[in-house]
Amino acid sequence: MPTNSPAFDDAPVPAPAPWREWARAPLVPVALAATMGLLADRYIGVPLDWALPAAVLALVGWYFSRRTSPQVAFGWLLVCAGVLAAAHHHAHRNPDAPNGIAAFAKDAPVAVRVRGRLAEEPDRFRPPRHDPLLTVQRDASSTGVLEITAVEGSAGWNAATGNVRLSVEGRIDDLHCGDVVEVFGRLTLPDGPHNPGERDYRAFLLDRRITADLRVKRSSDAVVRLEEGWRASLFGWLAVIRGWGSRALARSLPKDESGLATALLLGDSTALDREEWDVYVRTGVIHVLAISGQHLVILGWFAWLVFRVCGVRRRHAAWAVAALLLGYALLTGARPSAVRAAVMVVAVCGGIILRRPVIMANVFALAWLVVLVVNPTDPFTAGCQLSFLSVFVLLWGAVRWLKPRELTPVEQLIEETRGVPEKILRAALRVLVQTFAVSVILTVVNAPLVLAGQNVISPIGMLLGPPLILLTAIALVTGFLLLIVSPAGSWVAEPFARVTEWCMAACEWLVHLGDRVPGGYVYCPAPPMWWLVGFYALVVGLVLFDGTRAKRFLAAICAWVFVGLALGLPPRTSDELRVTFLAVGHGCCVVIETPDGRVLLYDTGTTAGPDAMRRVVAPYLWSRGIGRIDEVFLSHADLDHFNGLPELLRRFHVGQVTMTPTFPDKNSPGVGAVLAALETRDVPRRTVVAGERFTAGNVSFEVLHPPAVGPEGTENARSLVLLVRHEGHTILLTGDLEGEGQTLVTAKPIAPVDVLLAPHHGAKTANAPRGPAEKPEPGTVASWARPKLVVSSQRTGSATAHLHANYGAVGATVWDTPTAGAVTVRSHATGVTAEAFRTHEMGVVTRGK
């Protein structure tokens, strides 16, 4: 066909593949090089004294090759970017100084008096709701970052540097960012994880340049302001403005809706309690509350529309929108997603002001580099990763995939014959379909990353996302208008307050409705890192290429997902019994994994409260690839042994719960809450008494206590005592056995056991303390069980000398969970071994029998 024919001229020209835009964006390779530098220092380690000379060498190489070989010169610049990024990350996480505050801290708490400046606005948490599963109800609290300037010593004040995490039992409402304060509290070094799968608290604080922990108990009076400093701090002013906004919303809206509005508009994560946040996390719509790019885009779009309607010129409107969004990002805490959105919008506004075209791939890379410079550890957080991933898939994938195809001439004629109402209806339907399609695409693409960070998949989020985005968009606009006009009087703000209230109430209703939908969310183990890397490499290919290549990438993604699912399907079988005593503080949770693949728990509670299930027990089970629990044994009706069960039921399918005869008879709110949770989820219950035996493959369980009736005394005296046997080896689980119950149990002789769970968290009353030179008297647990290894599940700081003296007299080794961390015992035909998670100590308990 001739090139000048009408048919050729009218044919649509296909848009270039996205990879071409990325290939011609000069900041993209710089961002990639910087990312490689971050990864190198994060997972390998790049010494600072090596990195800086390497950066200088790269600059020298660039200088001498910039004229002769531009490609080589650009390569040297990329090397320099990577090395500088590694050095930036290393310096950020290693704030070493001769007089650093970490030098004054120890693993055990030390009473100190320090002075410093509040480096950020304190978070003030309101008292949580009454929880029947807590042994002690929590009060209001405050946390913040204190930049240390001096530490009091025996000879006076000594200069010191570094940041500490300040935790106060009470509210410090009159202190702000920039204020100079004096604090008396207990200083400790941040603690690392005590169990496999548990979050590394020490690494978390290092990412924020915090090297010590300072806790003030029982009163906020130990924090005294020495000098007002917030007026000289930008973030101090922003915090005061944020506080004023929170109070204005609280005056205009009901309590529940004001909390949601404060989180939505001002990014105040303390406005909602843990339970409320968890609902949004479970349903996969936390992004509608956590300040993200979505909020800035909505606010920027609304501001641009207002400016244009008011006749403001494009360039002036661009300046105003850029300033507004930068200010809003700072006001809400400069989170990575907000910084990313602000940088991208400002770059687009800059293009309008300069009348220059903008390469969006360049803008995207620029936003990544700015986030990296502000905080080089942010790229390793799930929120930052999800923000950039969503924008990448949306701009270069979903927009192209959902673009309406060109109408044929016949279809164009038909479209012209439609009436205006029909056109509006069809356009609205098209927008609705595209909105839900975008929600599905982003949910599917983000699911593996969310699963890796939260261990939850939320299909219900696909349905909740679009209406919630609409509601929060309206509330965002009306809420800001409410804040703007509220100084004029409540009657002026009333219309905006009511619209905001209705939108927030509708959001709350929808989210709680979605939370109750069966199968709306599913907790499960996270995929391995190698699978995640492969999945998102294929996603990048799918987004950047089109045509046949895109189809191949899509097929590869489907195959990769099938591989991931297939790897999780094989049964969890082994030739050994694995028993893990988790470190949960003053409480108990023992995970029993039988050779035939069954998983059983003995107790699941702690005085720290049900939150320990989310922080410790569930992550450990997921790290082991466990998604189902066949049975839970509850030793007795004390909260620190069962209060994690409701949270366990929410995250795992539990086949059965076994308890003692007196457990359901205890008249306590905690027992009532657990029984109600079991009934709600239709979990079978059974009661066991002394003498009963049952098996799980080649593992046998014998109930030694309690009898069908009695004994008299507290619940501790009626603790469930379970003797586990495998391949001739024995593990004895005792709960809080003491008093009359202990007397009854030890009256019946048994063969020496290999591993013993120390009764009642190693307390002296249950473990017969004796002097170092004395042998245990007959009738004590030590002389009766004659264990080889004793594990004591107890809180940090509890005494252990009596345990070593008493059990050491019969030749036993004692490991306490605060020191050893999780203790894993493996029983095999060749013997029994034990391993401590924290100390990495490993030993043979007994050899094959």
Q: What amino acid occupies position 739?
A: G
Query: For residues 387 and 379, what is the distance between their CA atoms, to the nearest angstrom?
Result: 10
- Check whether 407 has a pLDDT greater than 80: no
Q: Domain segments of the chain: what residues?
A: 21-93, 101-232, 243-380+459-520, 577-847
Please, what sign has the CA dihedral across residues 271, 274, 275, 278?
Answer: positive
Supply 464's token pair: 């909740």
pTM for the full model?
0.90
At residue 2 the predicted structure's pLDDT band, cuts being 50, 70 and 90, is: very low
Supply 589's token pair: 């949770």
Nearest to 46 by CA among 96, 91, 97, 87: 87
- Check whether 13 has a pLDDT greater than 80: no
Is residue 739 within 8 Å of residue 774, measured between CB atoms?
A: no
At residue 609 the predicted structure's pLDDT band, cuts being 50, 70 and 90, is: confident
Query: For residues 717 and 636, what is the distance between their CA atoms, to the nearest angstrom?
Result: 9
Q: Which residues pair with 579 in a beta bridge?
A: 592, 825
Which residues touch 374 (CB under 8 Å, ≥6 apart)?
A: 334, 336, 339
- Check whether 12 has a pLDDT greater than 70: no
Give me the DSSP letters along 636-652. -S-HHHHTTHHHHHHHS
CATH class of 577-847: alpha beta
3-class DSSP state of 39: helix
Cis bond leading into 711, ω under 30°? yes
Q: Would you say how long the chain is, in residues?
A: 849
pLDDT at 4: 45
Q: Which residues pair with 755 in a beta bridge?
A: 731, 789
Is residue 175 within 8 Å of residue 225, measured between CB atoms?
A: yes
Spatial strand order in the sheet of 721-726: 693-696, 699-705, 721-726, 729-733, 755-757, 789-792, 813-816
At residue 416 the predicted structure's pLDDT band, cuts being 50, 70 and 90, is: confident
Question: What is the arithmetic mean of pLDDT over 669-695?
Answer: 95
Encode pLDDT of 379-400 as tens digits: 999 889 999 999 999 999 998 8
Could you tell me where the beta strands, DSSP code E, fall in 436-534? 456-457, 522-523
The CATH code for residues 101-232 is: 2.40.50.140
- Check whether 230 has a pLDDT greater than 90: no
Query: For residues 386 and 281, what is the distance between their CA atoms, to the nearest angstrom?
Result: 14
Q: Alpha carbon of 743 to those of 443, 474, 810: distances in Å?
A: 58, 68, 19
Query: For residues 517 and 582, what is the distance between their CA atoms, to the nearest angstrom?
Result: 32
Which residues touch 333 (CB under 8 Å, ≥6 apart)?
A: 267, 291
pLDDT at 9: 43
